[in-house]
Structure formats: C-alpha cells, structure tokens
A and B are shown apart, each in its own frame.
Chain A
Amino acid sequence: MDVEITARVPSYPEIAVIFDDVFQYTEPLTASTSPSDVDRWDSLQHIALVQAIETTFGIKLSMDEMMEIQSVGDIERILRRYGV
C-alpha cells in the first residue's frame, strides 16, 4: 500500500531542478504539487517534463506512466517503482 506523502519535500532533489528547468517553477515542491499549481504545466510541457525525468534518471517511461503523472508525488512513486 502506498504511504500517503503529502506536504513533504520530494525525496528526489533532482525533481526540483527539473521543475525549474522545464516550468521555471521555483516554489517549494510538495508531493501534491500539480498542474493546477504550476502555470506552465500544460500538455505540451508535460512532454518536456517526461523527457527530463527520463534523461535525468536514465529510465524510459511507458504511455501509462506518462498519463499517471499528475503530481510530484506521482513522479516519486514511479521513480521508486523503477528502483531509482
């Protein structure tokens, strides 16, 4: 069962760097940070986000995972699944 991890800084500091790069978003991140918090997080920039995650962590995400990512917490969960 997934542990609820809201209101906590991400366990992967790289994610903050990615958010800065891709969305120029520099506010503190929490697991619940989502497209509604980040102005530039639209469907096109979502691709840039996915590509940044893939290259930063050296993994290749599936179509489902691409859809699954709706918050920072989703990213962390997926990364843990890959054993990153």
Chain B
Amino acid sequence: MAIEAAPECARRRAILPSVDWAAVPPEKVASMLDTFEQAGVRCPGWLAKAVLIAGHDITERLELPAHLRVLQRVNRFARSGEGGAEIDPLVAALMDDDTIEADVVAAIAKRLLESRPSDVARKLALAHAHRTHDLQRLAAPHLQDSVRELPAVRLRLTGFSTTQLFGDPLTLAFAAAGWQGSISQAEYGTAFTELSNPTQEHDAVILVSDLAGFAPLDWRNPPEEEAQRLNERVDLLGSALTAFAERSQAPLLINTIPCASAPGAGLLDGWHATGIRHIIEQINRRIFEVAAASANVIAVDSDIALAELPVARYVDHKLWYYGRMAYSADATRALARAFAHAWQLLRGGPIKVLAIDFDNTLWGGVYGDDGVERLQCGHDFPGNAFRALQQECLRLRSQGILLVALSKNNEDAMTVFERHPEMVLKRTDFAATSVNWNPKPQNIRQLAAELNVGLDSFLFIDDSPQERDAMRRACPEVRVPEMPADPAERPHWLRRQVATWPVRLTGEDGARQSYYAAARSATEWKASASNHADFLRGLEQKLVVSPLDASTVARIAQMHQRTNQFNLTTLRSTEAEIAAVAADGASGLVLHGRVSDRFGDHGIVITAVSDISGSDAVLRSFLMSCRVIGREVERAFLGEVLKSLASRGVSRVFGSYIPTAKNALVRNFYKSCGFAEVEGGDGAASRWVFEISGTEFPGSPFVKIAQEQ
C-alpha cells in the first residue's frame, strides 16, 4: 500500500524512511519507482540512497549523484555479476574523497568485499577507515592482505596519557598510506624517558600529546605558582625534544595540543594564567620552535588533523576518567591518520609537479568559446574564487612545486596569462606547458620525460570527471584527487591536499623553479649577452656522455618518436629496436648525452645510434632535442661519439642526411663537422664520411665534457 502511495509518502517523509529496504523484494522496489515515474514525481535522493544502501539495483533512469551511481553499479554487479570491469576505475575516484557520505562508502566497500574482494575494494575500505567505526571495522579484517607487499616501518608509540587505543587506528592509517607498520607501545607515562633514551630499533617515534596528560593543573596552588610550574614543564618538554633530535636517528612525530571546547578563564582565556587556550598556546609554541630547529622533530598540527570533527567531540570524557584516554575514538582515528601522513611525507616528500587544467579550473569559462575577455578571474564573484586558486598555485610554486600547464586548447591559450589583466599566474610561472589537443595522459608522460621526474611525482587537477577518469586509467601513478565541483571550495580543498604539504623548506626549493626554467632563462639572458660567443661561454655547459642502459632506453625511444628538427635520419626507432642495437657491444653503440648549464639540468637531450661492422660504422640516427639547439652541444657530442667508435677500432664513420619537411636545419651538419660528402646533393638525401686518422675530432670550446658520476 505504501508502495502505491509512495510519491505522497515521500513528499511527507512518511512511512518510507522507516522501511527496512533490505527486507523488501526487488520487484516491490521496482514497482515503487514505477509509481514515482507515473506520478511524474522525482524519487527523492534520501530514498534512492536508502534503497541503494540496502543493496537494490534500481533503475539507471534515476538521476543520481556520482557516488550513488557507483553504489548502483556495485549492487548490479553483486546481484548479477554484470559490469565488473567497469567498477575498479569508478571506485578509484572515491578513494581520497572524504566528502562522500561515510554510509555510502561503507555500503560500497562492504558489498565489494563480499562479492569481489579485490585490491581496489580493500583499498577503498582502508582509505576511509579513519572516518567511522563502521569503516574501520570493514577495513580491519583485510589488513593482512593489504599490507603484505608494503614496506615495513617499526613504530614506537608513547604519550602523556594512555596510548593503547591508538594501536589499531595507527596500523590502519599507515597501511592506507602505503606502509606495513608494526607498533611497540611504551609503558604508560614514560614519554620523557622515551625521549631521553632513543633506541635504534625503531624507524619513528610517535608521541601522542594531550593537555590533561601533559599538564595536570592543580588549583590548590595560586595561579602564578601554577603558571611557573607549567613554564618549567614546557621547558622540560622543549629540552627533551631537542635532546632527542640530537641523539636519535629516527624522527619523532608529535602532535600539538588541540584547541579546547571549554575555557579555563572565560573571556580572558587567551591571555590569563588560568586560561586553557593560553596554556595550550605556550606548549604548542615550544613544540613548533623545536620542530623549526630540527629536521628530526615533526609537529603534527592536531587542529588541522581534527578539522572535520566538532571540537566538543575531541574527547570522550568518560574514557578519560575510566582509563586516561585523552581522545575520543573519532579523534584517535583522525590523529592516527595525521601521523601516518606525516611519516609518508617525511619518507616520500610532497609531489614535485602540479599539472593544471585551464578552462573552468584556473579560470571560469572556456577560452575557445568565450575568448579572453569573458573568462572569469578577478576580484568579483565568481572570478575571485578562480583567482584564489591561482594564488594557491603560486604559493605551492614558492614552496618548490613545479607548475605545468596541461590543457586541451589551442596553443595560444597560453597568451591568456598575458592578455587577461586579472590573471595572477603568468606564463613564466609554468615550468613546462602542454597545451594541445592530444590526450592528457599522453601529454603528462611527455611532461614527465621533459622535466625528468616520475609520474608518481605529479598531482593532476582538472574540473572534468572524464579527464580525471582517463588519467586514472592510463596513468595510475599520477595522483588524481576528486576536485569539488564548486569553484568556491577549491582553494581550501587544495590546501588540504596532504600530497602538496612541504616537509622542510630550504633555499633549494625556491631555486628549483629557476633550474627548471633553464631554457627560458637562457633565452632571456641571451638577449642581454653582447654576442653569441659570450652567451655560449657564459652558459658554462656540461655534457655527460653515457651508453644506453635500462633506465634510459624509454627516453631514447621517445626522443626518436618526437624529434623533428634536429634529426638527421628521422628514423622512428622503437624501444626494442634501440635496445637490440645496444645489446651486442661489438656490432652496435648507443650513446646519449645529458646537458646541464648554469641555469639547470636539461636532462638527456641528445643521442646517436651506430651500427659497427669491422672498421666501418654507420650513424643510423643522430638527433637532439630542440631545447638546446644553437649551443654547439651537437658538435661536442658528435666528437665524443667518434672517439668512442675509434676506441673500438673503427676508422671510417658514415652518416646520412635524409631530408624531411622539418629538418632543413641539419642539412649541412656533417659537413660543418669535418665529414666529406660521399654522395647526394641539393635537396636530396646525402651521405657523408669521417675518416678517423689522428686526434682531430669535432668539438666545442663552449661545452665541457664531464665524466659520469
């Protein structure tokens, strides 16, 4: 009956909210949804959610938010076994998104673990285990399976109060962060002893601090006396932390005292001797001072760690009186996660590169459709939210993270940064750009090669769920967080991305930007140098020539695929072909050169592949990245190649020039390097030979040959 009256019941929120949907047969649920459709009433979200959590596979015609659609797919799979392959990437999107309702995540994880216990299901439960008791319960039984392959970390756990309840949440949080943590608990109340006797048996010491445990206040004493006692205790903590930092190999992770929900001095709380906030700030200031002075002490900010919880729920007071547990279960899970994040950052560091989409990410609107003038970015709503995100990007840049543009646009979209007056970011803030219509996964791989960093060092932000999904599928190493759809949420959201948090800032971090902007700086500097020779001399170029190895073959193949201008034969050799030439040292030689100059490292930019047959050798390919064209690097490198061939008993080296639409630049390259023409001529393919007779090799006074480290 309720089913026939469903639209009316839903409107009045009557009966339906209390139905146990798991006990309702699927056909009844289907007929209820039909009644909504017939009545022309939209099935309300709360009802769809309840039905989905109960495990029903409801019609796809319903408009559902993304996370509920995932649950719907999972339900379908659990019931019929259909669509399994599609589930993993869908679930991957939910991994680090704490804005998804915990009960929906729990339902997805539970059903997946029951019907299809895969890595991704376990990972989902683990990634959300810090959120609720239910999710922690779901993840815990799969812990062993989840951590089997992970690196081990031995943790020592101590604190000013009882730390026992931190054990399980810490193990889960470390597993979620990619570590197999084993925990040894210090005796109750021995934090100071632990600090003064660091052992070598642990990889990290975790000190859980809390106010009541650290500074039991006794108001039988006059406030001034208590203030004095507190000072002494804070001094003791400061010197104990410093002493630990000096003696211990392992780092110490200590959380700050979180803010209190009840004052000790009412409106005077922030400054009076009896004020709780005043006391907390004194303690925290000391913790921060030590952390600033020693790389070995990491201050984990509890207020940031607990930001998603109401302050009044940090403590479960009965647990404090029962067993001196300073934090509620919710707060314990959140702090455990913050410790695990701190360890992970300490070990892996933050990301190195932020890859940023343009349209509707850095500015509101679409450049190709709207033109420069109508793009939203400025001081007014909603452009101010985009502008604020640009500011966050600049902040990250100042902290050593490289910004790269990764946008599907015509190349001239880069001019927006100069042509739109309100853009905070400028073209020169980007260490590299990939603005074209190629798939973003393909572009990000090229950017990684160009910047010489791994894909796992990238964080990719894009407003398009399709682009994020494509990136996750093609480049699972790249971190692709779900970005809020509302631009207003994004600056704050980006600040909360743990992967961007600096661990330690040094002069290097600011300087790194200029290293990577090497090519660009050099170009600008060239304009100011009085002549080309001065420019080249001042560059202080170094060339390191090395033979091919397993770690460089991909880059060499990629150069063969991509290089058009400085490419003598434009042979598009594959990784396997190049490896095959290098495999037999007697019949082949593959060399490559890495160039650095006063502006930074350019990475591997030049390569030559030669076939050797007795005393003759043929340069099958010779090519160089356009980033270093016009610096005589090619002359120096060719000289090294010839010397290397000579040392293998080669006396004649042949080279060819095969013209294409783009390589006219190198038509006379061999000639300029002392090769003699064998055949060929104007506009056609030509063949050249270099007779190795004495010590005369091409070279450049502006390129220093450095030995490989």
List the interface of chain A (C-beta within 8 A of B).
21, 43-44, 47-48, 51-52, 55, 61-63, 66
Q: A43-B323, A44-B323 are in contact. Are A51 and B133 (CB under 8 A)?
A: yes
Q: When each residue 663-677 of chain B gets 1 if its CB lies under 8 Å from chain A and 0 otherwise, what string results?
A: 000000000000000
Q: Is the CB of B322 within 8 A of A52?
A: no
Task: For the complex, give the distance between the alpha carbons of A21 and B140 in Å.
Answer: 10
Q: Is the CB of B132 within 8 A of A47?
A: no
Q: Is the CB of B318 within 8 A of A66?
A: yes
Q: Is the CB of B319 within 8 A of A47?
A: yes
Task: For the complex, give the distance between the alpha carbons of A63 and B323 in Å.
Answer: 11
Chain B stretch 268-321: residues in CB contact (< 8 A) with chain A: 318-319, 321
Question: How many B residues touch A, CB cutoff 8 Å?
Answer: 13
Name A17's closest neighbour in chain B (CB-CB).
B137
For the complex of A and B, the 9 pairs showing the least CB-CB separation, nearest first, are: A55-B133, A63-B318, A51-B329, A44-B164, A66-B318, A21-B137, A63-B321, A66-B322, A47-B319
Can you list 13 contacts pairing A with B, beta carbon distance less than 8 Å?
Answer: A43-B323, A44-B164, A47-B319, A47-B323, A47-B325, A51-B133, A51-B329, A52-B133, A55-B133, A55-B329, A63-B318, A66-B318, A66-B322
Task: For the complex, give the distance between the alpha carbons of A52 and B134 in Å.
Answer: 9
Q: Is the CB of A47 within 8 A of B321?
A: no
Does more than half of chain B's interface fall in helix, strand or loop, or is it mixed? helix
Contacts of B329 in A (CB 8 A): 51, 55
Given contacts A44-B323, A47-B322, 19 further A-B contacts (CB under 8 A): A21-B137, A43-B323, A44-B165, A47-B165, A47-B319, A47-B323, A47-B325, A48-B165, A51-B133, A51-B329, A52-B133, A55-B132, A55-B133, A55-B134, A55-B329, A62-B318, A63-B318, A63-B322, A66-B318
Task: For the complex, give the distance between the alpha carbons of A36 and B321 in Å.
Answer: 24
Q: A41 to nearest B CB, angstroms?
A: 15
Contacts of B321 in A (CB 8 A): 63
Q: When each residue 126-140 of chain B gets 1 if its CB lies under 8 Å from chain A and 0 otherwise, what string results?
A: 000000111001000
**Cross-interface CB contact of A61 among B134, B165, B318, B325, cutoff 8 Å:** B318
Name A22's closest neighbour in chain B (CB-CB).
B137
Q: B556 to nearest A CB, angstroms?
A: 55
Task: For the complex, give the distance between the alpha carbons of A48 and B164 in Å.
Answer: 11
Contacts of B132 in A (CB 8 A): 55
Query: Chain A CB within 10 Å — which of B318, B321, B325 has the most?
Result: B318
Name A62's closest neighbour in chain B (CB-CB).
B318
Contacts of A61 in B (CB 8 A): 318
Query: Chain B CB within 10 Å — which of A43, A55, A66 has the most?
Result: A55
Name B322's closest neighbour in chain A (CB-CB).
A66
Name B328's closest neighbour in chain A (CB-CB).
A51
Q: When each residue 108-143 of chain B gets 1 if its CB lies under 8 Å from chain A and 0 otherwise, what string results?
A: 000000000000000000000000111001000000
Task: For the complex, give the distance between the alpha carbons of A62 and B321 in Å.
Answer: 11
Task: For the complex, give the distance between the alpha carbons of A21 and B136 in Å.
Answer: 11
Name B321's closest neighbour in chain A (CB-CB).
A63
Contacts of A51 in B (CB 8 A): 133, 329
Task: For the complex, give the distance between the alpha carbons of A47 and B137 in Å.
Answer: 15
Contacts of B319 in A (CB 8 A): 47
Contacts of A48 in B (CB 8 A): 165
Task: For the complex, give the distance between the alpha carbons of A44 and B167 in Å.
Answer: 12
Q: A18 to nearest B CB, angstroms?
A: 10
Contacts of B164 in A (CB 8 A): 44
